[in-house]
Amino acid sequence: MLKITIFLLIISMLTTSIRMVFRATIWDKLLALNLISAKTILLLAVYAVYKDNIFLLDLSISCGIIGFLGITLLSRFILRGGRQK
Amino acid sequence: MISNLLLILSWIYIIFGIIGIFRFSNMYARLLTSSKIDTAATITILLALMFKSGFNFFTLRLVILLTFVLITGPVSNHIIARSAYLNGINLKGEDKK
């Protein structure tokens, strides 16, 4: 069961990165960053339960923090008038 | 048993997430659906993992992870939408595919 979840998560990450990153606007890329960081949190959590390794869960929490910080700072940079497409 | 059901539910959410990215042409519609479906998939998967791993330190970390994602997920999506709106993407525009 968990294996199929991991497989589906990887597929959704691939399609997100391929489809969204090559779009014109910056906010599509930001949205892709948000989606992929959320998916990595899920992937790490599912893999941690799959392998019964408890340290991976701490990794997924820190990955969530980093993803969230990245998005806030990037959007502030864009709001301040970074390079506009 | 419950965790398997929840896992199947999360598969449906993930598949809809993939479809949601391709369909919408308007920027905000895409942003809304993918973020909402993404948060829903996160909730179901983490609940399924909680049921699966019983009551030990795993579930404690999973609870922390769930609350964290519940707080930061929508907030980060709001930040993206706000920066898109303030920088001039009109709401009803049909932007290019």
Q: Report ipTM for this prediction.
A: 0.81
pLDDT for position A66: 92
* Torsion sign, CA atoms B18, B24, B25, B27: negative
Q: How many helices (H) and strands (E) does chain A have?
A: 3, 0
pLDDT for position A82: 64
pLDDT beyond 80 at A21: no
A58·B61 Cβ contact <8 A? yes
* A46 in reach of chain B (CB within 8 A): yes
In what helix (H) or strand (E) does residue A38 lie, and over which residues does it extend? Answer: helix A26-51
* A17 in reach of chain B (CB within 8 A): no
Pair B38, B70: CB distance under 8 Å: no
Quote the CA–CA distance of A44 and A49 in Å, as a whole number. Answer: 9
* A58 in reach of chain B (CB within 8 A): yes
Residue A65: which residues within 8 A CB-CB, separation 6 or more? Answer: B68, B72
B18·A2 Cβ contact <8 A? no
pTM: 0.84
